[in-house]
Structure 1
Amino acid sequence: MNDIITVRGYVATEVRLTLAQSGLPIAGFRMCSTDRRFDKESNAWIDGNTNWYSVSMFRQLATNGAASLRKGDRVVIAGRLRVRPWINAEGRTGTSVDIDADTAGHDLMWGTANFKRTSTDRTDVQGQVPAALEDMPAGVNPATGEMLGAEETDYPVDPDPDGTPEGDDGAHGAAANAKELDAAGAPF
């Protein structure tokens, strides 16, 4: 059974980015979420229980998350919930609550973000890395999220840099009636 959960909370530890032997990027961090409610008697907000989660991210989400998320950030995480009992060598027992994240992002209720697309189909000049990819960790293929060896760090270049399919003039039904976007003013 897959239990899907969405949690709002804080990044409680630094995000760790590692590479599996297979080349799969994996990032992880601890997250906390505290229940808050307004107490009418004291006329103040009070904290309830704090829940703790171990969050795991894979592939492109791992590399983007490691480049974007910092300790203390307010985030929204959605993914598969796993609750597992554990026992250590001394016989101590506990329960691990993990989220295998499908998506992660900053909680815009509490601040702003500056989104940068990591897709390589936005290359403006043949052979140059798009500006949105400048903050990616070194040695990461932005198309797949895989970490590359030194000999594989060249980014692939889209043969059609404007991203439109052949024969597509950009007019699509209702969009044709909408205001034309000045391509020179577009951020991509």
Structure 2
Amino acid sequence: MSDNQMTVYGNLGTPVDYRESKGFGWAMFRVGSTPRFFDRQLGRWRDLETVWITVKASRTLAQNAAASLKIGDPVVVIGRLRSHTWEDKETREQHRRDVLEAATVCHDLNRGTSTFTRNEPAAAQEQPSSDGEAVAEFESSYTTPAPGTPAEPVPV
């Protein structure tokens, strides 16, 4: 059985709520999408009712979303639509919420600009190099290839 992906274009409607438990992080937020069309009879654009989607991101995507997004930002979210059900322990009432489990979240660059900052690899964050001689040796041995020649891979 295949799993379908869904793409939502809209604006961030709530702050990103980031939480972490036992080293696993996740974030929840809502995206509002208002369909718009040109009404030829009235000669103007008209908005339809806003559709609100709850989005859930996990791990690094959740951390990056919390650090990058603010209310009102135009976003594009790609993910899988899932139905989450639970029972209220006090009232024994059943609840259901459809949630878009995000695989990708980004700013909509049709509507503005953004600046990208790459995450540092986990090993580099945990173990910063304290061996200045090794770093200096690497920097002195690295040479820029001549134009038109392929670059040699750097040993890791």
So what's the TM-score if we normalise by structure 1? 0.60
Does the Cα contact within 8 Å between 1:2 and 1:81 map onto a contact in 2?
Answer: no
Deviation at 1:63, TM superposition (A): 0.7
Match of 1:155 in 2: 126
Does the Cα contact within 8 Å between 1:33 and 1:52 map onto a contact in 2?
Answer: yes
Match of 2:60 in 1: 60
Match of 2:139 in 1: none
Q: Identical aligned pairs, as a percentage?
A: 34
Deviation at 1:58, TM superposition (A): 0.7
Residue type of the alignment partner of 1:63? Q
Match of 2:98 in 1: 97
Deviation at 1:2, TM superposition (A): 2.5
Q: How large is the RMSD of aligned CA atoms in angstroms?
A: 3.2
Residue type of the alignment partner of 1:29? F
Residue type of the alignment partner of 1:44? R
Residue type of the alignment partner of 2:18? L
2-structure distance, mates of 1:52, 1:62: 19
5 Å-filtered alignment, 1:1-188, equals 2-20=3-21, 22-83=22-83, 89=91, 96-120=97-121, 143=122, 155-157=126-128, 177=148
SS in 2 for 1:76: strand
SS in 2 for 1:62: helix
1-structure distance, mates of 2:82, 2:44: 35
Deviation at 1:48, TM superposition (A): 1.3
Compare the two structures and name the one with the higher strand fraction. 2
**Unpaired stretches in structure 1, ≥5 consecutive residues:** 121-142, 145-153, 162-168, 181-188
1-structure distance, mates of 2:39, 2:8: 23
1-structure distance, mates of 2:117, 2:81: 28
Does the Cα contact within 8 Å between 1:11 and 1:75 map onto a contact in 2?
Answer: yes
1-structure distance, mates of 2:34, 2:87: 26
**Unpaired stretches in structure 2, ≥5 consecutive residues:** 136-142, 152-156
What per-residue deviation string (whole Å, max 9, x for no partner) do you get for residues 39-71 of structure 1?
111111111132211111111111111000011
Kindly tell me: are residues 85 and 16 of structure 1, through their superposed partners in 2, closer, same or farther at Cα, counting changes over 3 Å? Answer: closer
